[in-house]
Amino acid sequence: MIDYSTRRRFLRRSVECMAVAAASAPMAASAAPREETPKPIIIGALFPTVGALAIAGDESWRGVEMAYDIICGRGGPTVRLIQAEASDVKSATTAVSKLRSQGAAVILGTMSSTISFAATESAELAGIPYIELDAPADGITQRKFRTLLRIGPTSTDSAAAARDAVVKLLAPAWRLEPARLRVGVVFDVGASSGAFAAAVLDLFKASQIPVVLSIAYAQGRADLDEPVQRMRRASLDLVIHAGEPDGTILLSQAMALNRWRPRMLVGTGAGYTLTTVAAIIGRDFDRTMVIAPPNFARPGIKSASTTIADAYRARFAASPRGPASLTAYVGAFLAINAIRSGDVLAGLRKQTLPFGALANGFGVLFDSNGQNERSFVALQQWQGGMLVPIEPNQPGTVSPIFDYGPMDGTQPA
């Protein structure tokens, strides 16, 4: 289990930037009328700060911080960024109410679909624009809210990537028809994982890919030994797992305890993108395939994300822990630029950018529900302790490894 008790206290602070022109202007002559300092534009940021998603929430917050620092450093209207704690439904609704009382003009978030459902509903009732950066459940943007836009991809996008991984990569590599594969889907009952599981089960059924085992488990469960034993008895070729960091670690521990693993594990969710989780699991995490928004390009690969990764290292004295900060960065950059010029929702809705225009490869085009149709997920794989792309058209794509391998982390024969 991950110990989240050492959360850094900077998450609870507010940060401010003042316009360069205002800060550097000489004092006016005493005879001249004094101009009033404009009220700051307040931006709220809502992420988990404690619990199972604390590190993932911190990583998203860092992306927002970087976008804020870069934009505020260019001058312009006074902008103030405030982070509010949102680790469950109750704290999310309380945070929205608090940000409203502080005069927030827009709220950014949220990392968790469970939190996002509650926070976006509260923001809609309060009339506050809410820019969802990365919570993926499809239903978030299917409620016809007037104040909601989402920058990142959906659970259905991830499910389609899982289907494509089977049909275009794994089945051909194993010289099997997709209909002959024995597939298991394992997921926690949270909103993000549950939405992904529902979408993947529907898509696999339509594509005639058999799912011989589907297992849901409660968040906070002590172990996953019994589900792994069921997977072993079912002789699964492929396990698709949607889970938080704790669930990812528990699944790895259970497979090690039972000395069993499938030919391939495909994971999605915060548990599969963090270098923190990869370090805890160790070599056995290598070769795990991952469905997630694009990650930072690895060192040595030229990409638009490289400059952001360098800024991250300078800002936090550490390397990025996963793609969450990159996704949050591009979304926050769009939102903060839009609000500095006026109405954030109108400013974003009128934008049209092609795929590849943003640092992670996203474009911008919002549909009538407020969903960005030019966001996407990429199939990636942990190789040598790094999460790298394994499908074409991504910077630094490498060849995939098609067998999960033995439990000791060595390469399969």
Residue 27 predicted with pLDDT over 80: no
pLDDT in tens, 44-89: 999 998 888 999 999 999 999 999 998 877 655 688 999 998 999 9
CA 354 to chain centre: 21
Query: pLDDT of 368-393, one tens digit each?
Result: 999 999 999 999 999 999 999 998 88
Question: Does the reported pTM lie above 0.85?
Answer: yes
**pLDDT at residue 10 tops 50:** no
Instruction: Look at residue 34 in the predicted model and tell me its pLDDT.
Output: 57
CATH of 9-24+37-153+302-349, picked from 3.40.50.2300, 3.50.50.60, 1.10.8.50, 3.40.50.300, is 3.40.50.2300
Q: For 123-146, what is the mean pLDDT? A: 96
Long-range contacts of 154-157 (CB under 8 A, 24+ apart): 154/371, 155/113, 155/192, 155/195, 155/196, 155/198, 155/199, 156/199, 156/203, 157/375, 157/376, 157/377
Count H helices, E strands: the chain? Answer: 13, 13
* In contact, 265 and 286? CB cutoff 8 Å: no
Residue 87 · residue 51 · CB < 8 Å:
yes
Write the pLDDT tens digit of every residue in 263-295: 999 999 999 999 999 999 999 999 999 999 999
**In residues, how long is the chain?**
413
Across the chain, mean pLDDT equals 88
| Cα angle, residue 185 at apex, residues 182 and 191 outer, rounded to 5° | 165
Q: What CA–CA distance (Å, rounded) separates 374 from 191?
A: 23
Strand partners, 16: 80
Sheet strands (E) in 248-336? 264-268, 289-292
* Contacts for 378 with CB less than 8 Å, ≥ 6 apart: 161, 291, 292, 293, 294, 295, 361, 389, 391, 394
409 Rama class: left (phi>0) / alpha (psi -120 to 50) / beta: left
- What would the pLDDT profile of 113-126 be if each residue is shown by its tens digit? 999 999 999 999 99
Least confident of 45-49, 152-156, 328-332, 393-397: 393-397
Q: pLDDT at residue 35 above 70?
A: no
Superfamily of domain 156-292+378-389: Response regulator (3.40.50.2300)
Q: What's the pLDDT band for 24 if we cut at 50, 70, 90?
A: very low
pLDDT score recorded for residue 90 = 94
Nearest Cα residue to 258 out of 288, 233, 278, 289: 233
SS3 19: coil
Report cis status (omega within 30 of 0) of the bond before 288.
no
Integer CA distances (angstroms), 22 to 70, 75, 160, in order: 17, 9, 50
CB-count exposure of residue 21 (10 Å: 0-12, 13-18, 19+): exposed
Per-residue pLDDT of 180-200, as tens digits, reads: 999 999 999 999 999 999 999
Residue 2 in this model has a pLDDT that exceeds 50: no
What is the Cα–Cα distance from 89 to 291, expressed in whole angstroms?
26
Q: Is the pLDDT of residue 246 over 60?
A: yes
213 confidence band (pLDDT: 50, 70, 90) = very high
Question: Other C-beta atoms within 10 Å of 356: how many?
Answer: 13
Q: Is 201 exposed, middle or buried (0-12, 13-18, 19+ CB in 10 A)?
A: middle
The predicted pLDDT at position 407 comes to: 58
Question: What CA–CA distance (Å, rounded) separates 350 from 381?
Answer: 36
Cα gap 200→180, rounded to integer Å = 17
In the chain, list all ranges with CATH 3.40.50.2300: 9-24+37-153+302-349, 156-292+378-389
Q: Give the pLDDT score at 393.
A: 83
Can you tell me the mean pLDDT for 6-22? 36
User: Residue 80's Cα: distance from chain center in Å?
Assistant: 24
Q: Is the distance from CB of 79 to CB of 72 less than 8 angstroms?
A: yes
Instruction: Render pLDDT for 338-348 as a digit per residue (tens, 0 to 9).
Output: 987 778 999 99
pLDDT (tens digit per residue) in 160-178: 999 999 999 999 999 999 9
The DSSP symbol for 372 reads B
Rounded Cα distance, 219 and 216, in Å? 10
